[in-house]
Structure 1
Amino acid sequence: MESKNSLKLLTVFTSALFTSSVMAEAAFKPVTLESLNLPDRTCNIRDYGAEATGIWYDTKAFQAAIDDCAAKGGGTVRVPAGFYLSEPLFLKDNINFHLEKGAILQAAAEKPAYTPSDATKKWAGTEKLWPNAENWLAFLNIAESKNIAVTGEGIIDGQGSALLEAFRANARKTGSKGPTNRPRMVFIKNSSNILIENLTLQNSPSFHIVFFNTENITINNTKIFAPEWWENTDAIDPMHSRYVTITGNTISCGDDHVAIKSVFNDDNTHDFYIARNTFLEGRGLSIGSESSGGIRNILAEDNTFENAMYGIRIKSPRGKGGLVSNVVYKNTEMTNVETPIVLAGYYKGGPVTEAGRVDALQKGSLPVDLC
C-alpha cells in the first residue's frame, strides 16, 4: 500500500462513494491582506515598552500596542526581531499582528496565566471559552471580531511541555487520558475575515488553531509543529465554521492535522478548500469525530502525506455522527502512511495501560480507533 499510484486510485474511489455530487473548486475567495484593506498605520511594540529580554513578561506592552492601534482605526502591530515572553493576548478588529523574521514570541508556561479573570470572561461573552472543555484562555484570543491577520516570518512557541506534564501525570494516575483540558494556542470564535499566514506555530500544550462559528478564514503557508508523542496537539480544528481555506501549509503534530467538527444541529459547517498542504507526522485530514450538526462541501486536492499515522479519516463516536456530504479528495499522494483511509462509526478512546488493553481485548470491547 506504499505505492503513490495505488493510493491515488483509492482516494478517487473514496470521493465517488461518499459524495452526492462533485464539488467544483471553491467558489469563495481566500482572505488576503489586500482583501482585509487594513489602514496604513504601524504600531511598534518596542514603542510601547516591550524589552525582549526573554525573562520578563512583555504582555502589557503587546496588549497596549494592540489596543492603541485598534482604537485609532486599525493597522499593523509590528513585532521586530527579538525573543519575547508573554501571557495571553487579545486581538481586535482591523489589526495585522505581524511577527518579523527573527521574532520569537514564547507563551507563558504557568497554568495560572491562562485562568480567566472577570474581565476576560466578559470579553469572551461566556464563562465557557471553549465548548466541552475546561475554562482556559488561549494564548492568542479572538472573539466577536472581524478583519484580523496574524502574519510574518516569526515564530510563536507555546511551551507546551510544562502544561502537558500535568495531563500525563493524571493519565499515569488514572489509567485514562481524560479530557483535553489544556490551553489552546489560537482560539477564534464568532468572528469573520481572518488570515493566518507565513508564520511558524509550534509546541502548543493542546490544539494549535481552533475556530468556532467563524466565517471567511484562511490559513496559508504556515508551519505548525509539535512532537508526534504530544497528545491532542491537533494543528487546525474548525468547528461550526464556513468558507474556510487551508492551503500551502506544512504540518507535523501529535494528533489530527485537520479535524473538521460540528456538534450542534445547525448545519453550519460547510465550504472548505484544503489544498497543496504537506502533512507529515500526525493523525490525518479528518472529518469528525463530532459531526452531528452535518458537514458538507469539502474539496481537498493536491495534498501530500508523508510518515503519517493516518491519511484521510471520517470518524464519529456512537451518538455523535451526522450527515457528511459532498466531499471530494483529488490528487492525494501518500508515502509511508500507516493507514491511508479510515472510516470509523465507532470512534472511541482506548485504555492507555497494557493491562487495560488486555482486559478490553478479552471482553471484545476494544475500539476500532484507539487514539
Structure 2
Amino acid sequence: MKYKVFFRIFAAFSILAGLQFVSCKAGKDSATAWKQADKIINDIVVPQFPDKTFNVKDFGASGDGVTNNSEAFKKAIAECNVAGGGMVLVPAGKYLTGPIHLKSNVNFHLSEGAEILFTRDKKAYLPMVHTSYEGVELMNYSPLIYAYGQKNIAVTGKGVFNGQADNENWWNWVGKDEYGFKEEMPKQTDEQNLPRLRKMNEDGLPVEERTFGEGYNLRPTFFEPFDCENVLVQGVTFTNAPFWVLHPIKSNNVTVDGVTVRSHGPNNDGCDPEYSTNVHIKNCLFDTGDDCIAIKSGRNNDGRRVAIPSQNIIVENCEMKDGHGGVVMGSEISAGVRNVFVRNCRMDSPNLDRAIRIKTNTLRGGFVENVYVKNVQVGQVKEAVLKINTHYGIYANQEGEFIPTIKNIYLEDVQVENGGEYGILIKGREQSPVENVNFTNVTIKSTETPLSVENCEPIKFVNTTINGQKY
C-alpha cells in the first residue's frame, strides 16, 4: 500500500513537472505557443449526434408564445436521450418555457425563426440545482439552460434564446436605479444574499448547505454546462440574460461557434469559462453589459478548494463591441488561469472599456500565465489596450494574504486606432511584480497616456509605436 501511495505522489509530481516545463517553454517562444494553440484545437472533441430527429411539436409543444412548453421540451429531451441521442428540433415560432435541462447525446436545435421565451415566473426555476454565483458554488435557481454531469450535448441553430430579463424581471435585484431598482425592493447586496454567500465561502460550508433560491435574490446564469464533457454551442443568439450568459464550469472540450450575444443587463458577461479546460470560442459576436469574455477559476476560498485552473482557451475570429473588456481574466481567479490564446479578433466600441484585461487582488490570489494575443484590430476603447491590475476591488476590504502572480503576456501584430486613456496600464505588487510582458509589432495610433506601469519587470518592445513614438 505504501508503495502505491508513493507511486501516486511521484506520478503527480512528474505530471506537474511536465506541465511546468511546457509552461516555461510556451512562455519563451511565441511560435511554439501558437503551434500549441493549434494542437489544442485539433484535440478538442466536438460532439456528434445520431441522425435522429425528435420534433418538439410531436410532444405537444406549441409555438404560439403563450403555451408553456416545459413538459413538452422535457419529454422530447428525455426520449432523445433514451433512444441514444439525436436532434431535438424546435421549428419556427415563439415558445414559452421554464428552464431547459439537457441530457447526454442531445442536440437542442432551434430552426430559423424559432424563439425561446423563458418564463418570468421565478418559481419555474425551482427546485434548486447545484450552480455557482460569481465564483462561489451554491444551491440556487436553475440556470435557464442547464446540464449537470452530461456528455455530448449541444445547443445549435439559427434561432433566439430570449431570457426575458429586464428592469422588472431579474435585473432590478442588482440594486441599481438604472435597472429598475426602487428603495423598497430587495437586492442582491442585502445581508441574506451576497454577504451570506460570501460568509459561507469563508467558513467552508458544504455546497449542499448553501441554499438560496426562493426568498433570496441571486440571479441565475443563462446557459450553464456544469461538469460536462464535449459541449457545442453553435449559431444561436442569446439576449436579455438575467446574469452571466454562457458559463461552462468544470467542463472539458467546449466549442462556442458563431454565437451572437446581445445582452446589456447587469453582469451580462458574454462567455465565462470557469474551472474549464480545452475551450474554443470562435466566429462570435459579443455586445454585452459586462465583459465580453471573462475567464474565471473560483472566488477566494472556493477557488482554492476546487483547485482546477482554467486552461487551454482559444478565442479567434470574434468581434467585441460594448463591454467592460474584450478578453478578460478574473476577477474570480483563485485557482489560476494558463494558456490563453486570442487571435484574429476585432474589438471596437466607444462603450468597450479595455481590449485585454487581467484583474485580481490578494483575496483572490491565483495566477495568470501564458497569454498570447495576435492579429487583433482595436478601433476604440475607453480606458486601456492592456490593463493588468492586482489591486482590483469594487467592494471594501479587498486585501488578503494571497499574493497573485502574473507572467508571460504577449501582444503581437496588434493595431489600435484609439487606445483611450492608456495604451498600457499595469499595477502589480511590490512582493510579486508582473513578469515578462511583451509587445511585438504593436501600433497604438492615439492614446492619452502611453504607459502607466507600477511593479512590473521592464516591458519588452519590438517594433512597437505608441502615439507615433517608437519603444
TM-score over 0.5 for the alignment?
Answer: yes
Task: Decide which of 294, 316, 319 is 2:336's aligned counterpart.
Answer: 294
* Distance (Å, rounded) in 2 between the aligned partners of 1:35 and 1:175: 42
What residue in structure 2 maps to residue 254 of structure 1?
Answer: 289
* Distance (Å, rounded) in 2 between the aligned partners of 1:59 and 1:261: 31
What residue in structure 1 maps to residue 149 of structure 2?
Answer: 144
Q: Is the 8 A contact 2:125 2:143 kept in 1?
A: yes
Identity of aligned residues (%): 29
* Distance (Å, rounded) in 2 between the aligned partners of 1:203 and 1:326: 34
Structure 1 residues 197, 331: closer, same or farther in 2, change over 3 A? same
* Distance (Å, rounded) in 2 between the aligned partners of 1:52 and 1:209: 25
What residue in structure 2 maps to residue 192 of structure 1?
Answer: 229
What residue in structure 2 maps to residue 210 of structure 1?
Answer: 247
Deviation at 1:167, TM superposition (A): 2.8
Structure 1 residues without counterparts, runs of 5 or longer: 1-17, 352-367
Name the aligned partner's letter for residue 332 of structure 1. Answer: V
Structure 2 residues without counterparts, runs of 5 or longer: 1-25, 195-216, 397-426, 428-471
User: SS of 2:332's equivalent?
Assistant: strand
1:54 paired to 2:65? yes
What residue in structure 2 maps to residue 270 of structure 1?
Answer: 311
1:221 paired to 2:258? yes
Structure 1 residues 237, 35: closer, same or farther in 2, change over 3 A? closer
What residue in structure 2 maps to residue 328 of structure 1?
Answer: 372
What residue in structure 1 maps to residue 40 of structure 2?
Answer: 28
Deviation at 1:172, TM superposition (A): 5.6
TM-score under structure 1 length normalisation = 0.81
Max Rg structure: 2
* Distance (Å, rounded) in 1 between the aligned partners of 2:379 and 2:240: 25
1:232 paired to 2:243? no
Structure 1 residues 175, 187: closer, same or farther in 2, change over 3 A? closer
Structure 1 residues 134, 309: closer, same or farther in 2, change over 3 A? farther
1:349 paired to 2:394? yes
Task: Decide which of 63, 72, 84 is 2:74's aligned counterpart.
Answer: 63
Equivalences, count = 324
Deviation at 1:166, TM superposition (A): 3.2
Structure 1 residues 36, 311: closer, same or farther in 2, change over 3 A? same
Structure 1 residues 321, 42: closer, same or farther in 2, change over 3 A? same
What residue in structure 2 maps to residue 279 of structure 1?
Answer: 320
Higher relative contact order (CA 8 A, sep 6+): 1
Deviation at 1:188, TM superposition (A): 1.1
Q: Is the 8 A contact 1:20 1:325 kept in 2?
A: no
Hey, which of these two has a bigger chunk of strand by percent? 2
Deviation at 1:318, TM superposition (A): 2.6
Q: Deviation per CA, 1:73-129, whole angstroms, max 9, x where unpaired?
A: 110000000010000011001111100000000111122222325xxx4xxxx4x55
Name the aligned partner's letter for residue 303 of structure 1. Answer: C
Structure 1 residues 136, 19: closer, same or farther in 2, change over 3 A? farther
What residue in structure 2 maps to residue 93 of structure 1?
Answer: 104
* Distance (Å, rounded) in 2 between the aligned partners of 1:176 and 1:48: 39
Q: Deviation per CA, 1:46-88, whole angstroms, max 9, x where unpaired?
A: 0000011211211111111000111111100000000100000
Structure 1 residues 37, 169: closer, same or farther in 2, change over 3 A? closer
* Distance (Å, rounded) in 2 between the aligned partners of 1:247 and 1:278: 9
* Distance (Å, rounded) in 1 between the aligned partners of 2:170 and 2:176: 11
| Higher deviation after alignment, 304-313 or 164-173 | 164-173
What residue in structure 2 maps to residue 166 of structure 1?
Answer: 173
* Distance (Å, rounded) in 2 between the aligned partners of 1:338 and 1:350: 22
| Higher deviation after alignment, 178-187 or 99-108 | 178-187
Deviation at 1:28, TM superposition (A): 2.2
RMSD: 2.5
Name the aligned partner's letter for residue 96 of structure 2. Answer: L
TM-score under structure 2 length normalisation = 0.65
What residue in structure 1 maps to residue 435 of structure 2?
Answer: none
What residue in structure 2 maps to residue 244 of structure 1?
Answer: 279
Q: Deviation per CA, 1:134-177, whole angstroms, max 9, x where unpaired?
A: 61200111110111111000000001111112333696649997
* Distance (Å, rounded) in 2 between the aligned partners of 1:37 and 1:164: 36
* Distance (Å, rounded) in 2 between the aligned partners of 1:31 and 1:106: 35
Q: Deviation per CA, 1:308-331, whole angstroms, max 9, x where unpaired?
A: 122110001332122211111111
* Distance (Å, rounded) in 1 between the aligned partners of 2:112 and 2:140: 33
Deviation at 1:290, TM superposition (A): 2.0
Structure 1 residues 177, 347: closer, same or farther in 2, change over 3 A? farther
Task: Decide which of 381, 400, 411 is 1:337's aligned counterpart.
Answer: 381
